[in-house]
Amino acid sequence: MDLSNKQFSEKAKKDFQLIELAKERGDEKAYAELMQRYKKPVYHMILKMVRNVDDAEDLTIEAFAKAFKNLKKFNPEFTFSTWLFRIATNNCIDFIRKKKLDTFSISNTFKDDNGDNVDIDIKDASLNPQEEAIKSEKVEIIQTIVTKLPPKYQVLVKLRYFNELSYEEIAAEIDAPLGTVKAQLHRARELLYDLVKNRKDAI
C-alpha cells in the first residue's frame, strides 16, 4: 500500500498496517486491534443517533461485521475511521427509517484522524453501489455469525436481531424473567463481538 503521496496521521498509518495484516494474512489480532481502537467512538456516535443503549450495541456489532466483511473493498485514499463511520452511519440511517423514528440528534460531521471535519450527509436517502452492497449483506452476515453461537443464545439473538423484539417481548415469548433475558443477551453480544473479531472463522 503506497502512502508516500498522502498526508496521514500516525494513527491512520497504523490502521493501514493492521488492515494489510487482516486482509493478506487473516490476522485475528489485527481485526481485534482495529475493533479495540474504534469500538467506543463508533458506539457513542451510534448512541447519539438511536438514543437506546441496546440498539446501539446491536448496531455497533453490525457495523464492524460489515466493515470486516468488506475490508478488501476498502479504499486507502481515505482513512479507515472515515470509511468505518460511514458504514456505521448508513446502517443507523437504515435502522432509523425502518423504525420510523421521527427525530434523532447527531452532528453531521466528525473529526478524522488528521483532525479534519468529515461530512456525513444523513439526509440523502441514496446510497452508492458499494454502500448498497454493504447494506444488502446485513442479514447474511449476522445469520452466519449467529449459527456459531451456542443454541440457547441463538434463539435470543434471532428474536432480537431478526424479529426485532424488545427485551420485554422476548421475555414473554420464551416465558423467562426479564433479568435473565437481559443477562443472556449481554453475554450473547460479548460472544458476537468475539466472533466478529475472529472473522475468518465466523463470516
In a domain, 6, yes or no: no
Give the per-residue pLDDT at 8: 87
| Whole-number Cα distances in Å, 190 to 68, 133, 185 | 17, 27, 9
pLDDT for the residue numbered 123: 45
* Residue 169's CATH number: 1.10.10.10
C-alpha 64/C-alpha 193 separation (Å) is 9
Domain count, the chain: 1
In this prediction the pTM is 0.72
State residue 137's pLDDT score: 65
Q: Which three cell numbers stand for residue 161?
A: 436481531
d(CA 75, CA 153): 36
Instruction: Judge contact between 99 and 56, C-beta under 8 A.
Output: no
The CA distance from 79 to 82, in Å, is 5
d(CA 61, CA 20): 22
| Domain housing 143 | 11-202
Q: Is residue 5 part of a domain?
A: no
Pairwise CA distance, residues 32 & 70, whole Å: 16
What pLDDT score does 122 carry? 47
Write the single-letter amino acid at 16. Answer: F
CA dist 16 and 21 (Å) reads 9
The reported pLDDT for the residue numbered 177 is: 96
Residue 34 counted as domain residue: yes
Distance (Å, whole) CA 178 – CA 184: 10
**Strand segments (E) across 50-104:** none
Query: What is the reported pLDDT for 198?
Result: 78
In a domain, 181, yes or no: yes
Residue 2 is assigned to a structural domain of this protein: no
What number of residues does the chain have? 203
Q: Please state the φ and ψ torsions of residue 39, each to the nearest 5 degrees.
A: -60, -50
Exposure letters 166-188 (e unless 16+ CB within 10 A, then b)? ebeebbeeeeeeeeebeebbeeb
Asked if residue 196 lies in contact with residue 38, where contact means CB atoms within 8 angstroms, the answer is no
What torsion, rounded to 10 degrees, do the Cα atoms 174, 176, 178, 181 define? -70
Residue 49 confidence (pLDDT): 92
Q: What is the pLDDT of residues 126-170, one digit of tens each?
A: 455 555 555 556 667 777 888 889 998 999 998 988 788 889 999
Q: Is position 1 within any domain?
A: no
Q: Which residues of the chain have pLDDT under 70?
A: 1-6, 101-139, 199-203
